[in-house]
Amino acid sequence: MARRILALDLGSHTLKAALVESTVKGCRVLGLFRQPRDPHRALAEQVGDLCKTHNLRGDTVLSCLPGDAVSYRVLTLPFARSRQLAQTIPFELESHIPFTLEHVLVDFQTIERTAAGVTVLAVAVPRLTLAAHLETLAGAGLEPTAVGLVPLASLSLLRLAGEEAEGTDVLLDIGETRTSLVLLRDGVLRGLRTLSVGLSRVGGFPTFVQELRWTLLALAEDGSPLPARFFLCGGGACIPQLRQELEHAFAVEIVPFRQLSFPSVPEEYREEQGVFAACLGLALSEAVGRTERGINLRRGEFTYQGQNAARRRAVTRLGQIAAGVALVAGLATALEIQRLNTRYEALRQEIRRVFTTTLPDQQTIVSEKAQLQDAVTALQSRQRLMSGAAIAPLELLRQLSSGLPEQVSLDLDEWTVDEESARLRGTTTSFDAAETIKTSVAGMGMFREVQLKDVKTTAGGKKVSFALHMLFAQEQR
């Protein structure tokens, strides 16, 4: 989905705007727009006219303050953690600025990391200055997501051009009444100044060149090389005589921004890309999604609320989606459990039906599986006995009966035979008769052991009940 980015540079003499379209495939400049500033009209009204005239609308709005609207210093600190930096930098900066901390907002960006610590550019903006800037934009119906600095925005455009950073370079953004100077060594920011001279140059080119020379001397470090290139942007970049004066005075290579190549800038805007360097730098940096932390003066009570609201809406939306997913997952789980319970109950009913059909005489049901398995085991045992026993159970009972003395009486109550043994339970006339039965059975030679058990008189004392456990001899199995 395409996103439109509107970046504004509210100069002292000209209002400038860049409109950039960003998509997943890349970005392109849709247009560069400017309008002379009228000192007798309200600035908010003029910004509104600029947007209305050119139908300027952006999904993201960016703006920037001139360098002389803020205070800044390059600081080197012996630690690099963001939290420590955020806590320490305001107090380090306070001694270098003509304001107390309660009257300013402070932000910083890291410009170099070393083993000894970190070097940062710290910026302080008066709260009243930022409030007035945001009020002006609000009066035009605009709310910027971020407020940067003109010199840093122009510098970001230079870096987007992919120029090789070697030696000492100077970036000059020359406006009508002010000039921003950025000193670079091997591509690293080493100094930043805003001069109170510009195209309106009181005193002519010599005054401009002299103040520029003094500034470079103030920023120079001992033993540092002289600048080899001047990159020019702003309205002054279009003045050939100024370029000649600079080239002659400093013996440097002059590189106007209009000579730089940006794939996202159409050919018809190449001549003006230097004039619109600040707003182009803001818009293109946002469009390409540069990840390094830059200066954004919308901090504290001036933090962009639309972004926070969007984040809250996104979090709320994600929460709603997550709740919906959880609800659907819960319903699916409940339905699956219900389906499984239904199948389980149907299976239990089928097992019970098979059980009662198979064992109709079984009155007590504890575990269908275990009881069916016991029944199957008993049937298998009987099958093996019937098919493989040397003497059939009835034949064995007949032999036992014929082997007993005629005078001994035996009433048989229970008779069971398996592969290992035979068991009977019955009654006789006396204890001696029970012992005689045991002796007679043992004498038949069919069993290796005969055990007489549970010998006792029956109710009434007229008979004796007993049990015989007969273990087959090896050859009888």
**Residue 477: predicted pLDDT:** 57
CB 240 within 8 A of CB 258: no
CA distances from 235 to 9, 40, 64, 83, 274 (A): 13, 22, 17, 40, 8
The H-assigned helical ranges of 1-118 are: 43-53, 82-94
Q: Is residue 140 part of a domain?
A: yes
Integer-rounded Cα Rg, in Å, for the chain is: 52
pTM, two decimal places = 0.64
Q: Are 138 and 272 within one domain?
A: yes
The H-assigned helical ranges of 200-304 are: 204-219, 240-250, 277-288
Q: Are 351 and 285 within one domain?
A: no
User: What tokens were used for 265?
Assistant: 């800038």
DSSP 412: E
Q: Are 432 and 287 within one domain?
A: no
Q: Are 355 and 457 within one domain?
A: no
User: What tokens were used for 455?
Assistant: 């010998």
From 250, 274, 303, give the residue that closes a domain: 303
Q: Is residue 208 part of a domain?
A: no
Q: Are 342 and 424 within one domain?
A: no
What is the band of 310 on the pLDDT scale with cuts at 50, 70, 90?
low
Number of domains in the chain: 3
Task: Count other C-beta atoms under 10 Å from residue 229's C-beta.
Answer: 18
Q: Are 267 and 410 within one domain?
A: no
CB 91 within 8 A of CB 75: no
From 303, 333, 368, give the residue that closes a domain: 303
Q: Are 345 and 374 within one domain?
A: yes
Task: Count other C-beta atoms under 10 Å from residue 376's C-beta.
Answer: 11
Mean pLDDT taken over the chain: 87
Angle, helix 368-388 to helix 305-358, in steps of 10 degrees: 40
Q: Is residue 352 part of a domain?
A: yes
**Residue 381: predicted pLDDT:** 65
Give the span between the Cα atoms of 106 and 125, in whole angstroms.
7
Element (H, E) at 192: strand 188-195
Mean pLDDT across the stretch 88-96? 90
User: What tokens were used for 417?
Assistant: 């035979």
**Residue 203: pLDDT over 70:** no
Q: Are 53 and 134 within one domain?
A: yes
> For residue 472, what is the domain's CATH number?
3.30.1360.100
Q: What are phi and psi of 271, to 5 degrees?
A: -65, -25
Q: What range does the domain containing 28 cover?
A: 1-70+122-163+263-303
Give the span between the Cα atoms of 223 and 137, in whole angstroms.
46
Mean pLDDT across the stretch 20-37? 93
Give the span between the Cα atoms of 133 and 64, in whole angstroms.
9
> For residue 45, what is the domain's CATH number?
3.30.420.40
**In which region does residue 234 sit, left (phi positive, over 0), alpha (psi from -120 to 50) or beta (all else)?**
left
pLDDT digits (tens, 9 = 90+) for 355-407: 888 888 777 887 877 888 887 777 766 666 555 455 677 788 888 888 888 88
Q: Are 62 and 127 within one domain?
A: yes
DSSP 69: G
Give the span between the Cα atoms of 69 and 75, in whole angstroms.
19
**Residue 278: pLDDT over 70:** yes
CB 152 within 8 A of CB 189: no
**Residue 472: predicted pLDDT:** 85
CB 419 within 8 A of CB 377: no
Lowest-confidence pick of 89-93, 310-314, 447-451? 310-314
pLDDT above 90 covers a percentage of the chain that reads 45
CB 5 within 8 A of CB 58: yes
Q: Are 373 and 416 within one domain?
A: no
Q: Are 445 and 323 within one domain?
A: no
Give the span between the Cα atoms of 475 and 397, in whole angstroms.
18
Task: Count other C-beta atoms under 10 Å from residue 109's C-beta.
Answer: 17
pLDDT digits (tens, 9 = 90+) for 51-72: 999 999 999 999 999 999 999 9
